[in-house]
Amino acid sequence: MIMKLGTSTVVDVLYVLASERVMHPGPLLNITSSELPVLMSVPSGTFDAGGVTFSNASDIFQNARVVIFSYTLTAATNSSGYYAILPRYYFGMYPALVVSSDPNHITMTALSLWGYTGTMISSEFFVPSYIVGTGDLNVINATVPMTESCMNPACVRISHSQY
């Protein structure tokens, strides 16, 4: 997903609350609008401190099995880079978020995190979730070569559930 610098858009996420169907070992978690996805810089493996943020969650649909939250996603004018979107209570990550002034030039080596086929270690509860709306984001299909080793700090941190 590609976003231009200095812009905002809406991203909708569907959370599957009935997660006992996927071997959830504990009580069902209650996802609230105050629990926002976070973004991790791919090159550094650190959480972005304000350059790209999720905010203003609103509940647009909910029943006993699913809830859909709509979030505002904002990229500051100095937030160029590659980010992993990490939703709450989810084991894994969403597609890459690229923030750039020139969306036609993507560095494939920066996307190496998404080709990782090694072991993921997690003992956390998880709630399956899916991005179901991307607002004004440009969504492209980029083929990323598979790799058995982590190629950047974000991959190492995510694969060992250190976020």
Q: Residue ranges per domain, the chain?
A: 2-159
Model confidence pLDDT, tens digit, residues 69-111:
999 999 999 999 999 998 877 777 788 999 998 877 888 778 8
* pLDDT of res. 19: 60
pTM score over 0.85 = yes
Contact 88, 94 (CB under 8 A): no
Element (H, E) at 58: strand 52-62
Under 8 Å between Cβ of 77 and 6: yes
Task: Please report the pLDDT score of residue 128 as a whole number.
Answer: 82
Give the CA dihedral 146, 119, 149, 46, nearest 10 degrees: 100
**For the segment 6-64, what is each residue's pLDDT rounded down to a tens digit?**
999 999 999 888 765 555 555 666 788 888 999 999 988 898 767 899 999 999 999 88
For residue 91 the two structure tokens come to 């084991």
Q: Distance between CA atoms of 41 and 136, rounded to whole angstroms?
A: 21
3-class SS string, 83-134? EEEECCCCCCCCCCEEEECCCCCCCHHHHHHHHECCCCCCCCCCCCEEEEEC
Residues 115-163: tens digit of each pLDDT: 888 887 665 667 788 999 999 999 988 888 888 888 888 888 888 765 5
